[in-house]
Amino acid sequence: MHPAKSIILFTTLSGLGFGFLAFLCVGPSPVTGWGAVAGFASGLALAGAGLMASAFHLGHPERALKAFTQWRSSWLSREGWLACATLAVTGANAAFAVFAGIRVPPLAWLGAVLCVITLTATSMIYAQLKTVPRWNHWTTTALFLLLAFCGGALLSAMTWTAVTLLAGTGLVQCYAWRIGDSRLRASGTTSATATGLGGSGAVRSFEPPHTGDSYLTREMIHVIARRHSRKLRRTAFLLSFLLPVALLSAASAYGQAIWAAAICAHVAGVFVLRWLFFAEAEHVVGFYYGRR
């Protein structure tokens, strides 16, 4: 699949934002005063910026409000509602913490739960697609949630929670890569089922319908983007998981600079992971073109 910048920005930033907001709402250390201002402002800004970025993917962003109508059937529509509800509830929770200096536990918990549901809905936009077997698996949702929690724990400076989450997420990511590489084969779709010609021999694409590119080949069969996938996997793993864990082990000795470095490494790593999430995903329409 084509790794569009707008969608990579959207999923990475809003994931980080909602993960952070969840920790701010129900984290163990009460957040009030300037800490609350900075925390909630950056959490809401990250989530909001991510949602804004997603609008750049649209052919008609001025009609974006229409996307709120089909929540009964569409995960994309549900995601829109949930994101707005989450921003409203966590925003209200932030207002209480900042202006009144009080915690409202029911509101805080509602905000945190909404963060989790929103992240799940975002992941379901991709995980629901049977046409992209690599995404059509529980690891997609698990990773969207876990990576958001990792970012939240890092931004909340919770050392041991962050280290545990990073280690666990790293393992799930490895498993997702391992299982992901066999998903297309396991889907049962082949050039034989795509054409129905399998009964009379081995089917091979002889000539595509067009000599140049088309929307389909650019969008669904974006093979150039995955050319360096192995190197990118190693880079992403190092940046998102190994480096932050190593830095956090030394965090107590060096303080805030180390935390900043760990957060930067992790966020950069998640950007690479998201690039790979799209670039490595094979759409079954590729079977009509003899390309994956």
The answer to the question of residue 194 lying near other proteins (CB under 8 A) is yes
The answer to the question of residue 75 lying near other proteins (CB under 8 A) is yes
Cβ 206 to other proteins, closest distance in Å? Answer: 4
**Whole-angstrom distance, CA of residue 251 vs CA of residue 265:** 14
The answer to the question of residue 106 lying near other proteins (CB under 8 A) is no
**Whole-angstrom distance, CA of residue 53 vs CA of residue 230:** 28
- Residue 177 or 288 having the CB closest to other proteins: 288
Count residues binding other proteins (CB under 8 A): 60
State the first-to-last Cα distance of the chain, in angstroms, to the nearest integer. Answer: 10
Q: Tokens 């669904």: give the residue.
A: 220
- Among 127, 115, 117, CA closest to 47: 115
- Residue 82 or 153 having the CB closest to other proteins: 82
Site for other proteins in 257-276 (CB under 8 A): none
228: Cβ contacts below 8 Å, ≥ 6 apart:
none
- Among 37, 148, 44, 56, CA closest to 98: 37
- Residue 124 or 265 having the CB closest to other proteins: 124
Per CB under 8 A, the segment of 92-100, 103-111, 152-160, 188-196 that binds other proteins is 188-196
**Among 32, 189, 229, 235, contact with other proteins (rule: CB under 8 A):** 189
- Among 288, 14, 278, CA closest to 129: 278
| Site for other proteins, rule CB under 8 A | 1, 57-61, 63-64, 66-70, 72-77, 80, 125, 128-132, 187-189, 191, 193-197, 199-210, 212-216, 218-220, 283-285, 288-289
